[in-house]
Structure 1
Amino acid sequence: MNNLPDGLFAFLEHAGWAGAVIDPIPGDASFRRYFRVADGGRRAMLMHAPPPHEDPQPFLDVARWLAQHGHRAPAIHAAEPAEGWVLTEDFGNDRMRDWLDANPAGEEQAYAQAIDALVQLHQSPPGPFAPYDMSVYHREADLLTEWYCPAREIAADAAAYRTAWGKALAPLLDRQQPGVTVLRDYHAENIMLLSPAADGSGEQGLIDFQDALVGHPAYDLVSLLQDARRDVAPELERRMLDRYRASTGADDQFEADYALLGAQRNAKIVGIFTRLARRDGKPRYLSLIPRVWQALERDLAHPALGPVADWFSANIPDEVRAAHGGGVR
Structure 2
Amino acid sequence: MSERLPAGLDEFLDRAGWGGSAVEPLAGDASFRRYFRIRDGERSAMLMDAPPPQEDPGPFLDVGAWLSRHGHRAPAIHAEDRGRGLVLIEDFGADRMRDWLDDHPDAEAATYRQAIDALISLHDSPPGPFPAYDMATYQREAALLPEWYAPAVGIEVDVAGYSAAWDEVLNPMLPRQDPGVTVLRDYHAENIMLLRDGKQGLIDFQDALVGHRAYDLVSLLQDARRDVSEDLEQAMLDHYLAQVDAGPDFLADYARLGAQRNAKIVGIFVRLWKRDGKAHYLGYIPRVWDALERDLKHPALAPVAEWFDANIPQQIRDTRGGELM
State TM-score, norm by structure 2.
Answer: 0.98
Alpha-carbon offset, residue 39 of structure 1: 1.2
Within 5 Å, give how 1:269-288 maps onto structure 2.
Answer: 269-288=265-284
Provide Cα deviations, 1:63-112, integer angstroms capped at 9, x if missing partner. 00000000000001110111100000000000000000011001000000
Alignment correspondent of 1:232: 228
Runs of 4+ in 1 over 3 A off after TM superposition: none
Secondary structure at 1:252 match in 2: coil
Alpha-carbon distance in structure 1 between the residues aligned to 2:228 and 2:160? 33
Counterpart of 1:323, as a letter, is T
Partner Cα separation in structure 2 for residue 15 and residue 171 of structure 1:
50
How far residue 325 of structure 1 moved from its aligned partner, in angstroms, is 2.6
Structure 1 gap segments, 5+ residues each: 197-201
Q: What is the match of residue 48 of structure 1?
A: 49
Amino acid at match of 1:115: I
Cα deviation digits, residues 136-182 of structure 1 (max 9, x gap): 00000000000000100111111100000011000111111101000
Candidates 258, 262, 269, aligned match of 2:254: 258
Aligned equivalents of 1:35, 1:282: Cα separation in 2: 21
Residue in 2 that maps onto 1:306: 302
Please tell me whether residue 142 in structure 1 is matched to residue 143 in structure 2: yes
- Separation in 1, partners of 2:319, 2:27: 31
User: In the comparison of the two structures, how many residue pairs are matched?
Assistant: 324
How far did 1:5 drift? 1.7
CA contact (8 A) 1:286 1:327 kept: no
Please state if 1:294 is matched with 2:295.
no
Q: Is the 8 A contact 1:287 1:327 kept in 2?
A: no
**Matching residue's letter, 1:267:** A
Letter in 2 for 1:133: D
Q: Give per-residue Cα distances to partners, 1:160-219, cap 9 Å, x unaligned.
A: 0000001100011111110100000000000000038xxxxx210000000000000000
CA distance in 2, matches of 1:155, 1:21: 52
Is the contact between residue 95 and residue 193 of structure 1 (CA under 8 Å) also seen in structure 2?
yes
Q: Which residue of 1 aligns with 2:97?
A: 96
Give 5+ residue unaligned stretches, structure 2. Answer: none
Whether 1:318 and 2:314 are equivalent positions in the alignment is: yes
Q: Does 1:219 align with 2:215?
A: yes
Identity %: 67
Q: Secondary structure at 2:143's aligned position in 1?
A: helix
Matches within 5 A, 1:192-203: 192-195=193-196, 202-203=198-199
In structure 1, what is the Cα distance between the partners aligned to 2:98 and 2:59?
25
1:38 aligns with 2:39: yes
RMSD between superposed Cα atoms in Å: 0.9
How far apart in 2 are the matches of 1:80 and 1:25?
20
Query: 1:209 maps to which residue?
Result: 205
1:112-151 equivalences in 2 (<5 Å): 112-151=113-152
TM-score, normalised via structure 1 length: 0.97
The letter of the residue matching 1:124 is S
1:180 is aligned to 2:181: yes
**1:228-278 deviations in Å (ceiling 9; x for gaps):** 000000000000001111111223310000000000000000000000000
